[in-house]
Structure 1
Amino acid sequence: MIELRIQHPLTSADGADMLDISLQIAAQQTACLSGASGAGKTTLLRIMAGLITPQHGFLRVGDQIWLDTERGICLPPQQRSVGLVFQDYALFPHMTVQANIAYALQTAQPDLVQYLLTLTGLQPLAQRKPAQLSGGQQQRVALARALARIWGQPGSVLLLDEPLSALDAAMRSQLQTALQQAMQQSACTSLLVSHDMAEIFRLCQQVFVLEHGRIARSGSPEQVFLQGGQAGQLTLQAQVLAVRREEVVYVLSLLIGQEVTEVFASAEQAAGLQPGDRIAVAARSITPLGRAG
């Protein structure tokens, strides 16, 4: 289990704030941090990894105390069994993909490196260096390296800061499956920063929504994101791409997830809408299309 209590000054676009967090994550579970930019998500991960020492804090992972500011305990990053995927990837530019992954291991394990290369679809790129990779490919290398860091270490923690954000929809879905498999095999406890609802529901058992450095809502994905809706009604978040009038109705071109769709709207519904606006779209029925495979 992870037990965490943190108080630390936080600077956001809205001005000075305070990161004031208290949470628990069950062993071998995956929790999600969600919330607006500047809410403190990345700062919290960096504190857990030992890259930032908080003003006040306590962090217990299993039976080991990693941080206790009252007792002067603060283990350095190399003494914490942590795999961390940064938003900027932080790859070694002079190393190949294979060498970047192998560097995270305490002992040479060529079979594990090959397994992680295959798991993340990087086998054909194993001898390339980061400058020869796309952003999405670099992100996969960072993910494989983080998995290597915690593989086979009981009580390890995997910290993922939007680890699949640079990938297209098909690759993101494929890597979600791979990540889910890897987390189960490594028996780690994970904390994921994500705004992708499919990713959150697929990978996470707990969600903590941060607002201005504090937990505003918490619970299972269903409790956090589905409570309060009308029974039988599905609400989707969409971005307006275009608004046009056709005879007596308006047609809205909307981006929902990664898909573009068009819906009819009344003059009242379309009034004032501009491209770039974000709206909620409600559907009152669901029609199954069949199962893959």
Structure 2
Amino acid sequence: MIEIDVQKELLGSMGKMDLHVKLSIEKQNFVALSGQSGSGKTTLLRILAGLESAKGQIKVDDEVWLDEAHCLPPQKRGIGFVFQDYALFPNMSVLENLLFVRKDKALADQLLSMTELSELSNRRPATLSGGQKQRVSLCRAMMNRPKLLLMDEPLSALDPSMRTKLQHEILTLHKAFGTTTIMVSHDPSEMYRLSSRVIVLSQGHVVQDGDAKSVLLRTQGSQKFSFEGELLDIVKVDVIYVAIVSIGQQIVEVVLDGGEAKDLRVGDSVSIGTKAFTPILQKLI
């Protein structure tokens, strides 16, 4: 269990504001942290990592990371941090970047295998694609088997297909290592795929907190959408089916009958149209 109750004065998007966040996070949860730019998301991650000072308390299991008299240094917190800009050592190979964190070749080989990087282990970062660099960054963050993995929009610079691939790999590592994960994201489909809980910040305070479906559907609404999207989930409710579809930067629900749902699979590209204000969903060929 992670207990967080922190305060810090910030200069936000609308001037001075007080970041005040009080949360309890269960072990092995995957939490998505969302909200407008300047709402305090990255600052909260940096406070958890020990990279910024704050008032209050952070307690992880029975270990105090922060209180009035004590602030545990970042290197003693057992965290992994994945940044947007990869932060790899350019003069080291992929494998050397991992072993710099911890001299455990077996673990490094396992991580590289899980992320399909084994054949690139002797390459330097400059020779890798953006997606490959981010996978190396993720593997490096896992080398200490962290209690807490922090990710600050790690996939924002990647194309959609690579984002989807890395989302799968992030979730695989999260489950395999049983790590508690907090990820900043603005992508609703990413949050829906990965997280068990979504927390929305506004002006330094938590304004929404719940499971991904309830928070994202309430936030995004279904009043506006484009015509093409990705099928994220199909849920049977009594005699009907409810499709969860990502459309641009929105997530919507569409009610289907058994005949409409039978040929659909999660991950399908779909089109949505309307007929007398009732959405009609069809698989794209």
- Fold conserved between structures, TM > 0.5: yes
Distance in 1 separating the partners of 2:23 and 2:71: 19
Please tell me whether residue 119 in structure 1 is matched to residue 118 in structure 2: no
User: 1:192 and 1:148 mapped to 2: Cα distance?
Assistant: 18
Q: Map 1:94-109 to 2 at 5 A.
A: 94-105=91-102, 108-109=103-104
State whether structure 2 residue 129 is matched by structure 1 residue 130.
no
CA contact (8 A) 1:27 1:189 kept: yes
Asked if the contact 2:217–2:251 (Cα under 8 Å) also holds between the matched residues in 1, the reply is: no
Does residue 182 in structure 1 map to residue 173 in structure 2?
A: yes
In structure 2, relative to structure 1, the CA distance for the partners of 1:279 and 1:290 (3 Å cut) is: closer
Cα drift, residue 134 of structure 1 = 2.9
| In 1, Cα distance between equivalents of 2:89 and 2:203 | 34
Q: What letter is aligned with 2:63?
A: Q
Check conservation: 2:81, 2:149, Cα contact below 8 A. Answer: yes
Render the CA deviation track for 1:205-227: whole Å, top value 9, x for unaligned.
11110111111111111221224
Shift in Å, 1:64: 0.6
**Normalised by the size of structure 2, how large is the TM-score?**
0.77
Contact map agreement 1:237 1:256 (CA 8 A) in 2: no
Contact map agreement 2:84 2:157 (CA 8 A) in 1: no
1:88 is the counterpart of 2:82: no
- Against the structure 1 CA distance between its residues 281 and 57, is the aligned structure 2 distance closer, same or farther, given a 3 Å change threshold? closer
Is 1:150–1:158's contact at 8 Å kept on the other side of the alignment?
no
Specify whether residues 237 and 159 from structure 1 end up closer, same or farther in structure 2 by C-alpha distance, changes over 3 A only: farther
Q: Which residue of 2 aligns with 1:59?
A: 58
- Supply the RMSD in Å over aligned alpha carbons: 2.8
Equivalent of residue 164 in structure 2, options 173, 195, 199: 173
Q: State the alpha-carbon separation in 2 of the partners of residues 279 and 166 from structure 1.
A: 16
On the 8 A contact 2:31/2:182 being kept in 1, the answer is yes
The structure number with the bigger radius of gyration is 1
Do 1:235 and 1:283's aligned partners in 2 also have CA atoms closer than 8 Å? no
What is the CA distance between 1:82 and its match in structure 2?
0.1
* Change over 3 Å in CA distance of 1:6–1:204 after alignment to 2: same
1:235 Cα shift?
Answer: 5.3
Which residue matches 2:21?
A: 21
- d(CA) in 2 for partners of 1:281, 1:209: 16
CA change 1:130–1:64 in 2 (3 A) is: same
Q: Identify the residue that residue 291 of structure 1 maps to in structure 2.
A: 265
Quote how far apart the aligned CAs of 1:204 are: 1.2
TM-score (norm 1): 0.75
Shift of 1:178: 2.0
Is the contact made by 1:32 and 1:200 (CA closer than 8 Å) also made in structure 2?
A: yes
Contact 2:187 2:249 in 1 (8 A): no
Q: 1:17 to 1:182 in 2, by over 3 A?
A: same
Amino acid in structure 2 at the alignment position of 1:215: V
Q: Does 1:213 align with 2:204?
A: yes
